[in-house]
Amino acid sequence: MYEMPLSDRVLLTMHNMCLVRPEISKTAEEIARAIQLSIDNVLSTLHGQEADGYVKSYLDADGVKKFYLTGSGILKVCSSFS
């Protein structure tokens, strides 16, 4: 996994965490902790992936920004295995 580009590592980590719906999304800090990377690197990557349509974000009821994979993001991760 460490030989993968950072953007793919973040998507794979999100997939492994089952972050595929808003109800089970996580903050950038939680994702960064799981992948053992700095929050700045993860946030930058997440914003790029959001612009590409692989990730979506939203503010929860407490105003906390959380992220989850879109259908395109799931397909991108799954296609890396074939």
Which pTM value belongs to this model? 0.90
pLDDT for the residue numbered 61: 92
pLDDT for the residue numbered 80: 78
Q: Which residues of the chain have pLDDT under 70?
A: 1-2, 82
pLDDT for the residue numbered 1: 52
Tokens for 10? 């973040």
pLDDT for the residue numbered 79: 86
Question: What's the rounded Cα separation, in Å, for the pair 37 and 82?
Answer: 26
The CATH topology of domain 6-79 is Arc Repressor Mutant, subunit A (1.10.10)
Q: What Å distances lie between residue 23 and 12, 18, 54, 58, CA to CA?
A: 19, 11, 17, 10
pLDDT for the residue numbered 16: 94
Give yes or no for a contact between 69 and 14, defined as CB atoms under 8 angstroms apart: yes
